Structure 1
Amino acid sequence: MNNLQSFRSLQANGFGKNFEKLIDLACKYYRAEGKADISKIDEPFRVIRLKKAGRFEGQFTKNANPDFEGTLDGGRSICFEAKYTTSDRLKQSVVSDKQAEVLEIKSKLGGFAGVCIGIKDRYFFIPWEIWSNMKEIFGRKYIRANDVSKYEVIFRQGVRFLDYKYE
């Protein structure tokens, strides 16, 4: 990997982490309002070697599940993956096979499953039924912001993924 690719990879990782923090702010808001209890799920890993100054070498132990899980007021479960891009489109393939499998199961069991996405400065919560059938619905395996404008959510106290902008 050359320096430019390395920089872009680090930059994309940083955008993704910031996006997850904005979602976590909304989780705290929903918890305080009594609307939901939703938490970020850490990726499973193990420590291989301890280093100095609190550092360590680690290894992921299995494929990651979706990023957030919890319970909505009334008892319905919620489970979703978070994805962000600075480009004008987001590919369906950004959700891993393992994540898709989990989201499909949760959806079939009656949970509120989906993908919370950021495309540049717009934010959306796409229900799993829409995301998983992207090819049939949009004719391609990627979406643009205008394709999913009805799923746009508000940005206040974070990315408020339960509050659609146009409801």
Structure 2
Amino acid sequence: MSDVNRQMIGWRSQAVGGMFENILSASCNYYRERGVAIVDKTPEPMRPIKPYGDRRRGQYIACYEKQAQPDYKGVLCDGRAIIFEAKHTDHDRIQESVITKTQRQGLDDFRTMGAQCFVMVSMGLQSFYRVPWEVFGDMKSHYGRKYMTLEELAPYKLSQKMGTVLILEGVELHEN
């Protein structure tokens, strides 16, 4: 495969991943407006290197300082933390290896502290799933291999309401 083809695939993957994150952010806003949860996208850890283009618009060239943390962090209305990573694929399965070491460590640490932790999965930007971290992070013991098929994702499928993916439906809320 040529470098140009790899570049095109990379750009497409980045664009589709960004679209999935936009869908999730819209869902987070839906729950914020209803007083159910406040969940925000975690900014990527970047360091500005030099100004770029029109300085008045705040444009700059930057580099990533370290591997990203889980994509979204927040709190449910009962006070518990909720953390999730967003992963998209155009294939008929999702690999456990899409989670980086840093993301895995973050999800493990937050879960140990009592947070609700998930991996939100997009299959072709058509079907969406909320997989508990304890399942996604240990596919080998659950399925005998390190990937999940559409059939195995089925119990975690999310509903949609008027274009909003209902990412928190079924997450148990506790009274304080």
Aligned to 1:36: 37
Partner of 1:78: 82
State whether residues 23 and 160 of structure 1, in contact with CA within 8 Å, keep that contact through their aligned partners in structure 2: no
CA distance in 2, matches of 1:108, 1:139: 24
Partner of 2:117: 113
Q: Which residue of 1 aligns with 2:50?
A: 49
Question: Which ranges of 4 or more aligned residues in structure 1 deviate by more than 4 Å?
Answer: none
In 2, Cα distance between the equivalents of 1:36 and 1:159?
Answer: 15
1:107-139 Cα deviation digits (max 9, x unpaired):
121110010011121100101110111011111
Alignment identity in percent?
29
What is the deviation of 1:57?
A: 1.3
1:158 pairs with 143, 158, 164, which one? Answer: 164
Indicate whether 1:59 and 2:63 are aligned.
yes
Output the TM-score relative to the length of structure 1. Answer: 0.93
- Secondary structure at the residue paired with 1:62? coil
The one-letter amino acid of 2:105's match is E
Q: Give the equivalent residue in structure 1 for 2:145.
A: 140
Query: How far off is 1:159 after superposition?
Result: 2.5
How many pairs align?
Answer: 164
1:158 is aligned with what amino acid? T
State whether residues 122 and 145 of structure 1, in contact with CA within 8 Å, keep that contact through their aligned partners in structure 2. no
Name the amino acid aligned to 2:168: L
The answer for the alignment partner of 2:18 in structure 1 is: 17
1:79–1:112 contact (8 Å) kept in structure 2: yes
Residue number among 82, 87, 90 corresponding to 2:94 in the alignment: 90
In the alignment, what sits opposite 1:5?
6
Structure 1 residue runs without a partner (length 5+): none
Q: Distance in 1 between matches of 2:29 and 2:106?
A: 24
| Amino acid across the alignment from 1:31 | R
Instruction: Provide the secondary structure at the position in 1 that maps to 2:119.
Output: strand
For the 8 Å contact 1:16–1:83, the answer to whether it is kept is yes
Aligned-partner residue type, residue 135 of structure 2: I
Query: Could you tell me which amino acid in structure 1 is paired with residue 23 of structure 2?
Result: L
Aligned-CA RMSD value: 1.3
Following TM superposition, by how much is the alpha carbon of 1:63 offset from its aligned partner in structure 2, in angstroms? 1.6
* Among 73, 85, 97, the residue aligned to 1:69: 73
Structure 2: gaps spanning 5 or more residues:
171-176
